[in-house]
Chain A
Amino acid sequence: MTTAADPVSAARARLTPGAQAALVTVLVGCVCLLLGPNLPWLTAWPAAWTAPATQWVGVGAEWFLNAIKPAARGFSEVLRFPMDWANFVLGATPWPLLVGGATALGWAIGGVRMAMLGFAGLSFVLASGYWAQSMNTLALVAVSVPLALLLGGAIGILANEFTRIRGAVQAMLDVMQTVPTFAYLTPLLLLFGFGPVVGLIASAIYAAPPMARNVMLGLERVDAEIKEAAVMSGGTRLQQLFQVEIPSAASQIMVGVNQCLMAALSMVIIAAVIGGFDDIGWEVLLTMRKAQFGQSLLAGLVIVAFAVIIDRMSAALALERRRYDPRVAYSLIGLAVVFTVVFWSHLPDPATFTLLDPLAAAVDHGLGAFTADNGARLDAIKNGAMFYGLLPLKIGLDDAVLDFTWGFQWTAAMSLALYALALVAGLLLALRERLTGGLLLVIAVGMLETGIANLPWPFVLTATAALAWVAQGRGFAAIATGLLLTILLSGLFERALLSLYLSGAAVFACALVGGCIGLLCAVSPLAWRIMRPICDMLQTIPLFVFLIPVLMFFQIGEFSAFLAICLYAVVPMIRYTRHGLISTPGEMIEAATASGATTWQTMRDVRAPYAAPTILLGLNQTILYAFAMLVIAALIGTTGLGQSIYLALGQADVGLGLSAGASMAVLALIADRLVQGFAEERRRALGL
């Protein structure tokens, strides 16, 4: 209205939201940098401002847990029946029958290939000598999966019926997937008592969300005409739902079943930490404790074998419409029965099979020999990565550049020179109409100079809020700030920053390496044929197994933790990058080829932009995976939230475990929403 306001609003109009956000962040960063030395509370959140939140949570949770304990114990008694029953059936059935059964099932679902898979997979389990333990594991999965399917299905249907609760349900599913299981094992133990039931419930909690999400998605996508037809033919709501909508959504729901199975299987090892059940996870833990890589790899591969069989068969069930001649399946089962009866008295005890033991010993020996031969080289790799990569990122150039790391000492003059350089470069970018880029450069240099673990809290809060505002708008910015404040108040902020640094570094490395491998797999089918089983193995083998070779090579420390996280978190990046790049519509590629583009030009200018939303989704998964692995990495001595959670598990400290778990979930959720926001924006830009 007044003339004075006009230039301001004109300037604001010229600034994109990104530039505005970056500008505010730079300003707050400068203030922190200038005032930090004089106002210590700006740099580190004062201990006096923290509330004993972990204790409150502990007291509150214990009161609540004790209140509902009787009901939970009753539930656990009820669950014990199917558990014992499944255990008995699988344990008592002679192994030829189960091998034959799996082969027959494979045939019925997917013909010769699936039958071969079932046969080979179970034969491997048999040869490993872990048959009895494997059957116990299978019994656990056999009970927890229906439970998870039921739970997930119910949540999905409810969210579909009552659209108003959908937002809350989404948030709850996120929490179920991001709070590390270790964090709530202690409360579960208190509630449900000792034994496999705890593992069963933990895995059901973890495996239900994918089912719920897919049910929601499937029901949402049912064609409006189909729904209308159901309404017009006068069905009640329940009839519409169960006789029309759910059958129409069947293929999407089957994807959920598949994901649910895989998630349940990946939790097997967590159940073993409590014990009470002589399963394959316990075997992995025992061999881990003795640092026997070969044996723990063998036990871990048994889980991989199950995962691959279950994954491929349930995927075939979901996708393939064709069914194979049941007579072949019946004759396969008949063959198994005849085999069992004929050799009844000669059937060897599967525990005595040690066919693969020499192989395991050889792998173990090979690992030792490799470490011995390449000790100096491995140390050089580790030192290089620590000195020039991880340390500066963690504590900043200021503290990381020392005589014995880089060969010279970092001085205040160098800091000034670096900032000046960043400012000049930033200004140049700004003058070339790339203000946001220039500001981001200044921010990045400031963060590198300070180190992630030393970032002042006002800066972290502002930067997160700014990012959140750009990605998802004002509401999410407020939520993100509020969530971060709870971490600050509970006194876990320092550890959260350490976690952020380690997973941040890992995600960055994964994005780079995974992106390149994904690209390679997209252009070369041979590369994908090699990478695919490796990806499968990395995702389903118990994470613990990686820790031994990584430790042998690089010892306890952050670099080992970093590598372990990368090994696990790189997989979704590879998968999604490849998937995004190869699923570009044919017409677009034809158009590009017709206008004379080379393969690489097509890749860069057509496929890559089109694949961006998918790749961002992969990045999102990589972030979640990295956070999940942080807790496991605590077993090789990292600091940060992961260690707190593990410590709390050991000391049965409910409050600390839940608080640290919640902090971890907060970080993961914020990162998840940020990336999703940007992916959504890209998708809109592409008109998808």
Chain B
Amino acid sequence: MKSLGFGLVLSALAGPMTAAELGAVDEPIKLAINEWTGQHVTTHIAGEMLKAAGYQVEYVTAGMMNQFQAIGDGDVHATLEIWSSNVSDEYAKQVEAGGVVEIGDLGLDAKEGIAYPAHVAEICPGLPAWEALMDCAPQFATADTIPLGRLVDYPADWGTPGADRMIGLALPFKAVPAGSEGALITELRAATEKKSPLLITFWQPHWAMSAYDVKFVDLPVGNEDCFTDPAWGPNPDAVNDCDFAPSRIFKAAWSGTEEKWPAAFEILSNYQLSVEDQQPMMGAIDVDGGSVETVVAEWMAANQDSWRPVVDAALN
């Protein structure tokens, strides 16, 4: 709740505090529903806030990578959880073309890193210190990577941060791109079931963090120099010898939204959600089997204080 409050103060300072017109309340505002549960939670809360302000809202399923064309064309009006770590080039193109505008950070503190399911600590006792991986590598070797250890990296279209770390820190691991998020989760599940070794590039907030008891490897804390100056960090010959750069999670809207639904635009721009709020809801849906609508409705009822002010600020 703390970071949410902080976010609200920030946005209150930054955003215009004047009351805005409601605009076209008869036409539904279309919000993009992407492929993962956290995004469903984020979007449904925003949608309920808009409904509380008197708007009609429609949730439209849209592929994360392909949604920006739709937003640029005004077929979808906002998408509320874009990860800078795997945003497609299409986004930049659409922003440049003027159809899509960024509407600020979501306030979700994401962490990416090299991770492992908890049982792997028994196979490689030095974990979570990254130096332990130097000697454990053969334990992680498979037929595809022998003699190197195997790191399951992000799908190729999200970039290769895991491979960059292995090279930067001179770890004897070969990064294998996962192909899809489903493949990453399947790897986690199989390793947990079989109690077999697994090193994986992963992120939070994600429901699998708790479901499979995933831990992050402690990598050297870095700064800007780590990514530009080879001399910096434990490996004097390479860049990237430090932890992941924090990834930004932000929101974007169709450029016509501000004019058509001024108050809605303000609500969406000022909308914030924290990991502490989102992660339990993800668990309630993916692990306990609740529906997005009921879980979000319960949270909305119990946490009036955290979202109501944003709606009121835009209306009054």
Contacts and interface: CB of A to CB of B under 8 A. Distances in A.
Interface in B35-82: 35-37, 60-63, 65-70, 73, 75-76
B243 interface: no
B89 interface: yes
B177 A285 contact: no
B253 interface: no
Contact of B196 (A273, A375, A635): A375
Contact of A635 (B62, B65, B183): B183
B142 A555 contact: yes
Interface string A351-377: 000000000000000001101100100
Interface in A183-221: 185-186, 189-190, 193-195
A548 B187 CA distance: 10
Contacts of B180: 288-289, 635-636
B147 A557 contact: no
B176 A637 contact: yes
A628 interface: no
Interface in A613-669: 634-638, 643, 646-647, 649-653
Q: Could you tell me the dominant secondary structure of chain A's interface residues? A: helix
A194 B71 CA distance: 9
B294 to A, nearest CB: 13
A276 B33 CA distance: 9
A651 B176 CA distance: 20
Nearest to B89: A651
Interface string B139-171: 000111011000010011110000000000000
Contacts of A650: 65, 88, 155, 157-158
B88 to A, nearest CB: 5
A275 B188 CA distance: 27
A463 B69 CA distance: 44
B35 A552 contact: no
B260 interface: no
B61 A282 contact: yes
A321 B117 CA distance: 62
B89 to A, nearest CB: 5
B226 to A, nearest CB: 26
Nearest to A560: B183
B88 A372 contact: no
Contacts of A186: 66
A386 B70 contact: no
Interface in B182-208: 182-183, 185-190, 193-196
B124 to A, nearest CB: 18
A382 interface: yes
A556 interface: yes
Number of chain B interface residues as a range: 35 or more
Contacts of B60: 275-276
A479 interface: no
Nearest to B70: A194
A624 B181 CA distance: 27
Contacts of A189: 66, 69
B112 interface: no
Contacts of A285: 35
B147 to A, nearest CB: 6
B244 to A, nearest CB: 20
A547 B93 contact: no
Contacts of A508: none
A494 interface: no
B286 interface: yes
A346 interface: no
- Which of the listed residues B33, B177, B194 has the most CB atoms from chain A within 10 Å of its own CB? B194
A352 to B, nearest CB: 11
A276 B61 contact: yes
Nearest to A557: B144
B149 to A, nearest CB: 13
A286 B90 contact: no
A637 B187 CA distance: 12
B62 A276 contact: yes
A34 B180 CA distance: 42
B263 interface: no
Contact of B193 (A275, A286, A371): A371
A551 B61 contact: no
Interface centre among A273, A548, A551 (most CB of B within 10 A): A551
Nearest to B71: A194
Nearest to A279: B61
A651 B147 contact: no
Nearest to A378: B194
B140 to A, nearest CB: 11
Which residue of B152, B180, B193, B196 has the most chain A CB atoms within 10 A of its CB atom?
B180
A479 to B, nearest CB: 33
B28 to A, nearest CB: 14
Contacts of A558: 144
Given A194-B62, A652-B88, A653-B89, A288 B190 contact: no
B142 A194 contact: no
Interface string B73-101: 10110000000000011100100000000
Contact of B181 (A274, A289, A553, A647): A289
Interface of B: 33, 35-37, 60-63, 65-70, 73, 75-76, 88-90, 93, 142-144, 146-147, 152, 155-158, 176-183, 185-190, 193-196, 286
24 contacts: A193-B73, A194-B62, A194-B76, A195-B75, A274-B62, A275-B33, A275-B62, A276-B60, A285-B35, A290-B182, A290-B286, A291-B185, A369-B193, A371-B190, A405-B146, A544-B182, A551-B186, A551-B187, A552-B186, A635-B179, A637-B178, A650-B158, A652-B65, A652-B89
Interface of A: 185-186, 189-190, 193-195, 273-278, 282, 285-286, 288-291, 368-369, 371-372, 375, 379, 382-383, 386-387, 391, 402, 404-405, 544, 547-548, 551-553, 555-559, 634-638, 643, 646-647, 649-653
Given A194-B69, A372-B195, A402-B146, 18 more contacts: A193-B75, A194-B76, A275-B63, A275-B66, A275-B67, A276-B61, A289-B35, A289-B185, A368-B193, A371-B190, A548-B186, A552-B189, A556-B178, A556-B183, A557-B176, A635-B180, A637-B176, A651-B65
Nearest first, the 5 A-B pairs at minimum CB distance are: A194-B70, A650-B157, A375-B194, A652-B90, A386-B143
